[in-house]
């Protein structure tokens, strides 16, 4: 099976809002002159662009016997059942049903998720909550890649 790889990019509307914020910063600097306007536009655009790019750079990968979710790298042997969560279930698991010990790769702009049980007795983390735009595909990749299932 082909390895799973997804980047949790921010929505296009966030980029449009970022451009708008940079433009507002530039307009606020207009009384200081055209050079200040251009510098404010360039600096504001660079900072906002870097922030949006960084926040949207989180990745979920299933490859090489591991699940890589953001900065976490978990061997597939330490994972149990993966469950897809629709928008309503995902909202419940990231709010009132959430466990503070869980590892959450949460992006509020992605309504669906996958919940993966952690079966390693040495790990206090009960489950992983992974925001994903393709929950069925991620669950299938985790199931197919697990050594005890294959």
pLDDT digits 0-9 by tens, 101-127: 999 999 989 999 999 999 999 999 999
Compare 148 and 106 and report the one with higher pLDDT. 106
Percentage of the chain lying above the pLDDT 90 cut: 88
Average pLDDT in the chain: 92
Q: Which helix (H) or strand (E) holds 63?
A: strand 59-63
Q: What is the mean pLDDT of residues 18-34?
A: 95
In this structure, are residues 40 and 101 in contact, taking their beta carbons and an 8 Å threshold?
A: no
Which two tokens mark 148?
């005890």
Q: Is the pLDDT of residue 92 over 60?
A: yes
User: Do strands 4-7 and 66-69 pair parallel, antiparallel, or not at all (unpaired)?
Assistant: unpaired
pLDDT of residue 64: 83
pLDDT digits 0-9 by tens, 43-88: 999 999 999 999 999 999 998 889 999 999 999 999 999 999 999 9
149 torsion bin: left (phi>0), alpha (psi -120 to 50), beta (else): alpha
CA angle at 56 for the pair 127 and 143, rounded to the nearest 5°: 35
For the entire predicted model, the pTM comes to 0.85
CB 115 within 8 A of CB 82: yes
**CA 105, CA 80: separation in Å to the nearest integer?**
17
CA angle 120, 125, 129 (to 5 degrees): 110
Give the 3-state secondary structure of residue 1.
coil
């Amino acid at each position: 099976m082909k390895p799973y790889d997804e980047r949790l990019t921010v929505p296009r509307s966030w980029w449009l809002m970022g451009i708008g914020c940079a433009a507002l910063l530039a307009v606020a600097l207009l009384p200081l002159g055209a050079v200040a306007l251009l510098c404010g536009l360039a600096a504001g655009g660079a900072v906002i662009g870097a922030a949006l790019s960084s926040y949207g750079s989180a990745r979920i990968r299933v490859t090489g016997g591991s699940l890589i979710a953001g900065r976490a790298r978990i061997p597939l042997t330490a994972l149990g059942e993966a469950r897809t969560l629709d928008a309503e279930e995902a909202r419940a698991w990231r709010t009132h049903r959430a466990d503070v010990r869980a590892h959450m790769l949460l992006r509020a702009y992605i309504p669906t998720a996958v919940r993966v049980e952690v079966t390693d007795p040495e790990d206090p983390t009960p489950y992983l909550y992974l925001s994903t735009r393709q929950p069925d595909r991620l669950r299938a990749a985790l199931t197919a890649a697990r050594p005890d299932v294959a």
